[in-house]
Amino acid sequence: MKENERLKEQLDFSQSFTERNYPAQIIGRNPDSLYSAFTINKGSRHGIRKNMPVLAVQGGILGLVGKVVTVGVGTSLVMPIYDTKCSVSARIQNTRDIGIVTGDGSSDSPLVMTYIKKRVLNELQVGDLIVTSGEGGNYISDIPIGSISEIKVLDYDSSLNIKVAPVIDFSRIEMVIVSDLEKLGTGISSQPATAK
């Protein structure tokens, strides 16, 4: 019963996109691997291509999962945003300051946002939502990534060190939505998401 509810949640959000998208199921992952990619059950014969963004819905919130890195005929490999090789151009939703979000290879650790100048420190607070910037062509803009969980000021750095708690709980993710930016419309017509 719960599985049907989760599938319906993904499909409902999937149909609210103005771009073409592909609901897919995670069919394999290796938590012990240094390379944290996981396998989905859609490939080139379904319309999947390399670098397509991958999203998911949990508890009614749409969030960024990662991007497709390898495409087979019937399956594809997805690199999640917490992978050390993944960098996402991102904005702090409230202030619109732009930086880069990266991971440390563990789904249990916070993401890190860098290149946010110290001068905006007083405008930031724990809980502020971090979203995709839409720059660089890999991700749709304003997709939630996570919320600020900690802000560190480092004496030797002109930028802040910001820890970001992902909106997606990667240990519970089963279904994803692969989005086609080449058929991009005006974005997402669903309700704006908020961080947990």
Q: What angle do CA 35, 150, 188 make, to 5 degrees?
A: 70
Tell me, yes or no, whether 188 lies in a domain: no
- Tell me: pLDDT of 77 over 80: yes
Percent of the chain with pLDDT over 70: 80
Domain housing 128: 87-166
Tell me, yes or no, whether 192 lies in a domain: no
- Tell me: pLDDT of 155 over 80: yes
Segment 95-115, tens digit of pLDDT: 999 999 999 888 888 999 999
Which pLDDT score is estimated for 183? 56
Tell me, yes or no, whether 124 lies in a domain: yes
**59 and 108 share one domain:** no
CATH assignment at residue 73 = 2.40.10.340
pLDDT band at 31 (very low <50, low <70, confident <90, very high): low
pTM, rounded to two decimals: 0.81
**122 and 25 share one domain:** no
- Tell me: pLDDT of 24 over 50: yes
Radius of gyration of the chain, Cα coordinates, nearest whole angstrom? 16
Q: Which of 6-20, 69-83, 133-147 has the lowest mean pLDDT?
A: 6-20
User: Across residues 109-122, what is the average pLDDT?
Assistant: 94
Main-chain dihedrals φ then ψ at residue 121, nearest 5 degrees: -50, -45
**44 and 18 share one domain:** yes
Main-chain dihedrals φ then ψ at residue 3, nearest 5 degrees: -60, -40
Measured on CA atoms in the order 20, 83, 31, 77, is the torsion positive or negative?
positive
Q: Which of 27-41, 75-89, 158-172, 179-193 has the lowest mean pLDDT?
A: 179-193
Tell me, yes or no, whether 195 lies in a domain: no
**96 and 34 share one domain:** no
With a CB cutoff of 8 Å and minimum separation 6, the contacts of 16 are: 188, 189, 190
Which pLDDT score is estimated for 196? 36
Number of domains in the chain: 2
Which pLDDT score is estimated for 4? 54
**157 and 176 share one domain:** no
Q: What is the mean pLDDT of the chain?
A: 84
**117 and 61 share one domain:** no
Percent of the chain with pLDDT over 90: 63
Looking up tokens 């669903």, which residue turns up? 190
> Is the model more confident about 25 or about 17?
25
**67 and 92 share one domain:** no
CATH assignment at residue 156 = 2.40.10.350
**97 and 76 share one domain:** no
Segment 159-191, tens digit of pLDDT: 999 999 999 999 899 999 999 876 544 333 333
